[in-house]
Amino acid sequence: MTIAKADFIEGIAKGMAVLESFDTERQRLNATLAAERAGLTRAAARRHLLTLCHLGYLETDGSYFWMAPKVLRFSGSYLASSRLPRALQPTLNRLAAQTQQSFSAVVLDGEEVVIVARSGSYGAPGRVLAYGLHLGARLPAHATSTGRVLLAAMAPAGFNQWLQAHPLHRLTPHTLTQTRALRQRVVQVRKDDFCFASEEHEIGVQALAVPLRDMQGRTVAALNVVLSGGRYDEEAVRRDLLPLLLEAAREVRSLL
């Protein structure tokens, strides 16, 4: 959405930029680090940090700042009011109980994908879970099965703009970091209508994803199964789990 310049409140934008500077890699920031990440001067970043702390969204020891539980009000309100997580949760839980694997629903937000719904834990007690796959987790789109499914749903011009705007960081030795290679992979995903990714985001983690479309045919999210704790054969995964994902996508289409 675009708005008139007169309607844009720069102070709010800067404050949100500071708040978004905190992530799983940098959970504690001082004014200098926050300034670098938010693109502000150190003095401006410090004022925003102190204000957010005063409002209860951050905590501090006097030098470093970190997120306070109050920030969960935003995610809690989204999860309670958004139709998508509520519509998908029963299906995710059923798939997990049926297969003893983990399933997620994911949306695209800039260069990252965000987990907006996740199945309950039905795996064996000793099964190793992939790092960072909790509700609300943000993962790099270029290195994930769901990210590539959602990128494949973009119009070609939009995908070209996305490629120009976002660097392809290397996360493991298997991550695609060349623009041409990722473009080819996304084109293939668009043809296949699914994506299998192996150890590109995290060593020992593989995933298979399909698009979730509404009744108008628009891709609104991606559904995936995450396999961790061992290396799985791609053909076997496709044979055993792809039909379940595709059937689930058909089942929920009228709800999206």
- Residue 112's identity, in one-letter code, is E
223 close to 248: Cβ distance less than 8 angstroms: yes
Enumerate the CATH 1.10.10.10 domain ranges in the chain, comma separated. Answer: 5-73
Q: Which helix (H) or strand (E) holds 191?
A: helix 179-192
Give the architecture (CATH level 2) of 5-73: Orthogonal Bundle (1.10)
Instruction: Report pLDDT for 122.
Output: 54
Instruction: Report pLDDT for 125.
Output: 42
DSSP three-state, residue 173: coil
186 close to 213: Cβ distance less than 8 angstroms: no
> What is the distance between the alpha carbons of residues 48 and 21, in angstroms, rounded to a whole number?
12
Question: Rounded to two decimals, what is the model's pTM?
Answer: 0.77
> What is the distance between the alpha carbons of residues 236 and 225, in angstroms, rounded to a whole number?
13
Q: Does CATH place domain 82-255 in 2.170.120.12?
A: no
Instruction: Report pLDDT for 4.
Output: 87
Instruction: Report pLDDT for 138.
Output: 87
> What is the distance between the alpha carbons of residues 47 and 50, in angstroms, rounded to a whole number?
5
DSSP three-state, residue 157: helix
Q: Report in angstroms the alpha-carbon separations of 49 from 8, 52, 60, 212.
A: 21, 5, 9, 38
DSSP three-state, residue 167: coil
> What is the distance between the alpha carbons of residues 59 and 67, in angstroms, rounded to a whole number?
6
Which residues on adjacent β-strands are paired with residue 221?
A: 212
Instruction: Report pLDDT for 133.
Output: 66
What's the token pair of residue 39?
């693109």
Enumerate the CATH 3.30.450.40 domain ranges in the chain, comma separated. Answer: 82-255
137 close to 120: Cβ distance less than 8 angstroms: no
pLDDT per position in the chain (256 positions), as tens? Answer: 778 888 989 999 999 999 988 876 788 999 999 999 999 999 999 999 999 999 999 999 999 999 998 887 877 676 666 788 889 999 999 999 999 999 999 999 999 999 999 997 555 443 444 555 678 888 999 999 999 999 999 999 999 999 999 999 999 999 999 999 999 999 999 999 999 999 999 999 999 999 999 999 999 999 999 998 777 899 999 999 999 999 999 999 999 8
What's the token pair of residue 110?
């800039």
